[in-house]
Amino acid sequence: MIQRTIGPEKNQVSAVVQGCMRISEMSEDAVERLIETDLENGITFFDHADIYSDGTCEALFGKVLAKRPDLRDKITLQTKCGIVHGDDYTYYDFSKEHLLETVNASLKRLQTDHLDYLLLHRPDALMEPEEVAEVFDELHTAGKVLHFGVSNQNPVQMELLKKSVRQPLEANQLQFSIMATSMVDEGINVNTTFDGATVRDGGILDYCRLNDVTIQAWSPFQYGFFEGVFLDNPKFPKLNEKINEIAGKYHVTNNAIAVAWILRHPADMQVILGTTNMKRVAESAAGADIKLTRQEWYEIYLAAGNKLP
């Protein structure tokens, strides 16, 4: 498994991340086997959020850590906070009171004394950077959170936050896959009137590269906004034909090629797997050992329906 270097401390972490959003229906023993499968395949980074099944995912994972305390030192543990599920709606809350309350609750559920990474979960339009800075300082000083980041934020939002916080923003979790390419489209189509030239993300891809922020790509196998998986989907015959052709060349599955395509980008991203199927985890992890050629990368990009100017 190739490693990624995150932040000024140059921490080494696995390029592939196990997303834990869907573990709530698993048994405690099954989650333990999933973690062991991840570790066997070089995946040492685990991503949570306090809202995943209203904390059930964190609690289940925490039971495994309590049962197997030897696992904690083998993994990098990350969670996210800031989204609030109301009875009839969802909203965002980066207030000091809410962030401290939710982080402490996550620590309790995960049965650990610290998080390796904490990300602010999506932007809060009412964010007060000074208040967030107080939270980061308090959590960092207490040793409860070692590193910080954001998710789904653009460069200006990150700069606004950086104006007040002292800790570096080391990661930004963003949607990116073969079928969600807006971050690269805007760069490829510069100085054209093509649809791809529309700047939707504020140049976040190059911003992260310039500022040594690690992009964590979520939904690597999805198209649209959780509309479904594009692999083996009859809606995308040309794309799947090309992916399967390249998969055959490298003697891996299509999952591996979808992962390899993301990791081929020189931004040195991480890929967050949503699957809890242990066979697919192993198949996907194999993609980290493949470096696609430029031609192969562009062939897949074009087969997904994109155009080059």
User: Can you read off the two tokens belonging to residue 73?
Assistant: 């030192």
CA distance 68 to 276: 19
Residue 206's Cβ-side half-sphere holds a number of Cα atoms within 13 Å equal to 8
Residue tagged active-site, from 52, 117, 207, 223: 52
Q: Which amino acid is at 162?
A: K
Look-up of token digits 């190059």: 206
> Is 89 in the active site?
no
For 216-253, give one letter per residue: b (16+ CB within 10 A) or e: bbbbbbbbeeeeebbbeeeebeebbebbeebbeebebb
DSSP the chain: --EEEETTTTEEEESEEEE-TTGGGS-HHHHHHHHHHHHHTT--EEE--TTGGGGHHHHHHHHHHHH-GGGGGG-EEEEEE-EEE-SS-EEE---HHHHHHHHHHHHHHHT-S-EEEEEE-S--TT--HHHHHHHHHHHHHTTSEEEEEEES--HHHHHHHHTT--S-EEEEEEE-BTTB-HHHHHHHTTTS-SGGG--SSTTHHHHHHHTTPEEEEE-TTEETTTTEE-TT-TT-HHHHHHHHHHHHHHT--HHHHHHHHHHTSTT--EEEE----HHHHHHHHGGGG----HHHHHHHHHHTT----
Residues recognised as catalytic:
52
